[in-house]
Chain A
Amino acid sequence: MMGKSKKIIFLVDIQSFYASVEIASNPDLRGKPVVVCGDPKKRHGITLAASPEAKKSGVKTGMPIWQVKALCPKVNFVRPHMKKYIEASIQITEILNQFTDQVEVFSIDEQFLDLTKSQSLFGTPETMAKMIQQRIWDEVGVFARIGIGENKIHAKMACDNFAKKNKVGIFKLNQQNYRDLTGPLPIDQLFGVGSRMKRNLERIGIYTIADLAERSLEEMKKRWGINGHVLWLNAHGIDYSPVESSSTVLYKGVGNSITLPRDYENRKDIEVVLLELTEEVCRRARLMHKKGNTVHLSVRGADFDHPTGFHRQMTLPFATNATMDVYRGVLQLFDRFWDKEPVRSVGVSLTKLEDAREVQLSFFSDQVKKIQLGNVMDEIRNRYGKTAIFRASSLSSAGLLFDRATKIGGHEA
């Protein structure tokens, strides 16, 4: 054998995922412009997904409903059903698991596969890609696009920039053709470059992926640290990160965030939401039998033109998953960093997790009682629903518990 055999990595991405799942469950919609969007009366009234037919009329993800109506009068609006999408995503993972045990769920509609050792069973990469596409179409009713490469960045770039744009929905990149094919692309097509980074890069004369690849690694590192290093590697098609199947991924933290239905201006209202979020985060940590040493709080301001807000963290006095102990940390962070500007979204997370099944008892606080209290509240919620027991503050007008209880990921279940 000549050296190490090259890896075969796939990125499987579903076309217009939410819209495709809706169409699959309602064949009347097939071939028609379909837009999945939130409640028009609330702030969630924006486009979450659009079918290819709707996209042809110029509809884009994130577009408000009135604009969609103007562009595409015959559009069919569908309310989101998050539970359905999660189920479809799991069904796809199950199909992929029949080709390899190395499946990394990257997002709800994107999964990485390592098929290096599956070739002798299923054939060439192209053959496997066609088989996977066919099975997902037959069994889930949605169209998969597949990027093929020698590592994850090849697969991701092959999928986003080529497979999504050709008819077969399959494209292969390798180290030989990577720079020739990706080089001429505009810089924001490089994985990891968002709108802000694009502006920064253009300011120093980097407009295409080739422009970035020609810069020295030292310059990129000096300007943007680790981020610059990663972008340089991405531009060169270098990526050593393995496909991490979910069994090998350790939970690094638990977090929840929420976009508020209106801008919250006073401290009292924001506190109510922070407590609700903290309770949800702690409940999930308790479910995993984990407790955290560090609490994070992120707050984003309401004014998009003058972005305000912060993301800060602090080490708790002891590892905990008790709601009120974590909330105390959240409030300390909030008091220290909030600039008194109206708030649009908030997020709380708990990290540096450790096993919660070992509890060092303390003389001055009743750890056992706290644990029991949390467990009892969780059990009541598990049995009778999320609103069966709640904190009184959730009854105030600022509370979002009752609104959120019926949703998954902020959308209707």
Chain B
Amino acid sequence: MHFTIKKSHLVDALSHVNKAVSAKNAISILTGIKFEISNDGLTLTGSDSDISIQIFIPSVLNEDEIVQIFEPGKIVLPKYTFEIIKKLPNDEIEFKIVDHLTVLIKSGSSEFRLIGFEAEEYPELPQIDQKDIFTIQGKLLKTMIIQTIFAVSTKESRPILTGVLWNLNGQNLKFVATDSHRLAIRESTVENPMGLSFNNVVIPGKSLNELSKILDDHQVPVEVIVTDHQLFVKIDNLVFFSRLLDGTYPDISRIIPEKGKTKIRVQTKEILDAIERVALIAKDAKNNIVKLTTLDNQLLEISSNSLETGKANEQILAKELTGEPIKISFNAKYTIDALKTIDSQEIDIEFTGALSPFVIKPVDHDRMLHLILPIRTY
């Protein structure tokens, strides 16, 4: 193996691949990054066996020579190679295997000799049949992840809830996340020329968190493939793999109330700010309880009351307020988390009683829904 490469391209690629690599992996070879040079360019692979990320850097990009290949070959180098590369002085870096597993890295006057792992021992990434693809805009995928991932469970007592449920039906892709106290749903339209459909595909929250970071600057269509055990997302020259969670996601169709008894339309920012302020009183308490009460003249009261710290309340004028009066207690954090992901100016909130979940929806579209269960107090 012998090649030279432009530093900025390598740093860029390694910053993504590194996200999948953990220095503490029990499988020692997975603590490293696989470098594989062919006649077309350099392929980098990182994996922690839950997530794998692979990037291909072509030798020529936009008539610019990025990688100069002298001799193909492969090796697995330790994770901290990334730290070394970032600090090298020159824009051009030379890699050469000098002795079986020893790699010479040269840049300007700097010289490193790193001991790598045998690339033959690196596990094969899953082979994916690249036919069954649907496409979605990268930015939209990132938005859908952010608008649902906050609701996944962080507790291992019910592992399936630590993931986001993906359903595809025709052009409609739907994400669902819940920790059994609140639930977030986000839908959008995708290109599905193959007419694919799936349900009960559950992707670990941790994987989607990494994927959303990679999707940062990509306003391009990304290709998605879902197999029995893997999610596969292709963004330009980057391929992201994640394992799926085993198990059956609970049926959520029956927990969404059909019709509310109390309907409120308010400015998103106004109610978010009010809840955030009032919740400061209840901040240290376990459940972070805030109470919402409907008053006369389309007024809403948001209040909080703590034996130790005191009381807070404020009033909001609703745009609309219809139906039965209500007094309901809920966890401020759950509501704040949901409201923060809503980019619409106005929202509708529908209540069906003090012990039933309430629904928060944006007014200007119906692709998003939040459901929050109240707190029963005595």
Contact = CB atoms under 8 A, between A and B. Distances in A.
Contacts of A318: 157
A361 B158 CA distance: 16
Interface string A22-61: 0000000000000000000000000000000000000000
Contact of B287 (A358, A365, A368): A358
Interface string B330-355: 01000000000000000000000001
Given A364-B180, A364-B250, A359 B286 contact: no
A360 B375 contact: yes
B155 A363 contact: no
A363 B180 CA distance: 5
A361 B250 CA distance: 16
Contacts of A359: 375-377
A307 interface: no
Interface string B157-200: 11000000000000000000010110100000000000000000
A365 B377 CA distance: 18
Contact of A357 (B180, B183, B373, B378): B378
Nearest to A316: B157
A317 interface: yes
Interface residues of B, number: 22
Given A364-B250, A368-B355, A358 B286 contact: yes
Contacts of B250: 363-364
Contacts of B155: 317
Contact of B375 (A317, A358, A364, A365): A358
Contacts of A367: 376
A361 B377 contact: no
B61 interface: no
A368 B286 contact: no
Nearest to A371: B376
Contacts of B287: 358, 360
Nearest to B357: A363
Interface string A345-380: 000000000110111111111011000000000000
B26 interface: no
B157 A362 contact: no
A333 to B, nearest CB: 15
Contacts of A361: 181, 355, 357, 373-376
Interface residues of A, number: 15
B84 interface: no
A407 to B, nearest CB: 32
Nearest to B374: A361
Nearest to A355: B286
A363 B178 contact: yes
B255 interface: yes
B289 interface: yes
B54 to A, nearest CB: 37
B181 A360 contact: yes
A374 to B, nearest CB: 14
Nearest to A354: B286
A151 B181 CA distance: 50
A368 B183 contact: no
A360 B377 contact: no
Interface string B105-136: 00000000000000000000000000000000
A362 B180 contact: yes
Contacts of A358: 286-287, 289, 375-377
Contacts of B255: 363
Interface string B360-378: 0000000000000111111
Contact of B376 (A317, A354, A365, A368): A368
Contacts of B157: 317-318
B251 to A, nearest CB: 10
Nearest to A357: B378
A358 B157 CA distance: 21
A355 B289 CA distance: 13
Interface of A: 317-318, 354-355, 357-365, 367-368
Query: Nearest 8 A-B pairs (CB), nearest first?
Result: A317-B157, A357-B378, A361-B373, A359-B376, A362-B180, A363-B255, A363-B180, A360-B375
16 contacts: A317-B155, A317-B158, A318-B157, A357-B377, A359-B375, A360-B287, A360-B373, A360-B375, A361-B373, A361-B375, A362-B181, A363-B178, A363-B181, A363-B183, A363-B255, A368-B376
Given A358-B376, A361-B374, 14 more contacts: A317-B155, A317-B157, A317-B158, A358-B286, A358-B287, A358-B375, A360-B331, A362-B181, A363-B178, A363-B180, A363-B250, A363-B373, A365-B180, A368-B376
